[in-house]
C-alpha cells in the first residue's frame, strides 16, 4: 500500500491516500467543502468552481474536486478570499439561470449571503421548454451546465451518448445532435440524467404534468 500523504486542512492534521482529491480528503475528515457540478458517480470536471480552496504557495484558488492532496500541503477552505469567490459564483449563477428548483444551490446562497439581484442587467438564459417525449421534459432555463447529465449518458454510466453541449459562450446549452427530438436519438430513457440533475432542468414528465395541474 502507498504511504499516506500528510497535510493540514483548516489547521486539522489529515492523512489521505495518494491520488485522493482535497475534497474527498476533507470530507473524510468531517470538513465540508461545497460542491455543485461534482457528483460522486460522475467524473469530476471542475466546471462550477464553487469548491475552490486556498492552498499555501498557490497563486490561484484551487478547485478541491479535482486537485489532489500532496505531502505537507496546507489547505484553507473558508478564508475571506474563498468565501468571496463562492459568493460571486453563486450571484452570477442566480443572475442568469432560474434556480427556483435547485434547493442545494439556494441553501448555499443563504450560507454565503449571495444576492440574487446583484447583476440586475444580466441576460437570463431562457430557452423554451422541450417536451418531445413521453418520459421527461427538458427546461434548460434552469440548466447550470454542470455536465452531469451528459456524463451519465456517456461513459460514466449508460454509454448512449444522446446529449452533449452545443453552441458557444453564453449560448452554450445541452442538446441532442442537431436538436433532434429525443425519440430520434440514441436515448434509451434510462432516467439517469433526470436522477443526477441538481436544478429541475430535467424532470419526469409525470412530475411536470402534476405541477402544471394537468394530472391528478
Task: List interacting residues with ligand SF4 (CB under 6 A).
Answer: 143-149, 174, 196-199, 201-202
Positive or negative: CA dihedral 2, 51, 49, 104: positive
Is there binding between residue 16 and ligand FES (CB under 6 A)? no
Residue in the shown chain whose Cβ atom is closest to ligand FES:
65
Query: Which of ligand SF4, ligand FES, none sits in contact with 145, Cβ below 5 to 8 A by type?
Result: ligand SF4
Q: Shortest Cβ distance from residue 145 to ligand FES (Å)?
A: 11
Query: Which CB atom, from 31 or from 109, has the smaller least distance to ligand SF4?
Result: 109
With beta carbons less than 8 A apart as the criterion, state whether 147 and 37 touch. Answer: yes
In our burial notation (b when 16+ CB lie closer than 10 A, e otherwise), range 195-209 reads ebbbbbbbbeeeebe
Is there binding between residue 97 and ligand FES (CB under 6 A)? no
Task: Outline where 75-163 has alpha helix (H).
Answer: 80-96, 103-111, 148-153
Site string for ligand FES, 29-68 (x = CB under 6 A): ------xxxx-------xxxxxx-----------x-x---
Query: Which of ligand SF4, ligand FES, none sits in contact with 190, Cβ below 5 to 8 A by type?
Result: none
In our burial notation (b when 16+ CB lie closer than 10 A, e otherwise), range 151-164 reads bbbbebbbebebbe
Q: How far apart are CA 142 and CA 187, in angstroms?
A: 21
Site string for ligand FES, 154-193 (x = CB under 6 A): ----------------------------------------
Amino acid at each position: 500500500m502507498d504511504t499516506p500523504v500528510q497535510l493540514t486542512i483548516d489547521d486539522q492534521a489529515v492523512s489521505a491516500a495518494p491520488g485522493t482529491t482535497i475534497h474527498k480528503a476533507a470530507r473524510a475528515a468531517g470538513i465540508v467543502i461545497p460542491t455543485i457540478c461534482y457528483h460522486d458517480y460522475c467524473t469530476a470536471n471542475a466546471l462550477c468552481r464553487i469548491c475552490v480552496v486556498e492552498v499555501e504557495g498557490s497563486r490561484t484558488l484551487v478547485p478541491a474536486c479535482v486537485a489532489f492532496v500532496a505531502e505537507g500541503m496546507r489547505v484553507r477552505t473558508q478564508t475571506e478570499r474563498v468565501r468571496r469567490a463562492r459568493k460571486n459564483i453563486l450571484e452570477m449563477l442566480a443572475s442568469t439561470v432560474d434556480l427556483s428548483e435547485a434547493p442545494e444551490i439556494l441553501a448555499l446562497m443563504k450560507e454565503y449571503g449571495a444576492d440574487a439581484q446583484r447583476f440586475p442587467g444580466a441576460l437570463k438564459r431562457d430557452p423554451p421548454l422541450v417536451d418531445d417525449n413521453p418520459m421527461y421534459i427538458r427546461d434548460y432555463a434552469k440548466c447550470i451546465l454542470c455536465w452531469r447529465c451528459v456524463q451519465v449518458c456517456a461513459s460514466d454510466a449508460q454509454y448512449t451518448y444522446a446529449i452533449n453541449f452545443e453552441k458557444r459562450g453564453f449560448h452554450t446549452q445541452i442538446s441532442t445532435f442537431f436538436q433532434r427530438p429525443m425519440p430520434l436519438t440514441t436515448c434509451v430513457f434510462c432516467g439517469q440524467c433526470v436522477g443526477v440533475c441538481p436544478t429541475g432542468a430535467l424532470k419526469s414528465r409525470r412530475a411536470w404534468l402534476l405541477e402544471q395541474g394537468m394530472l391528478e
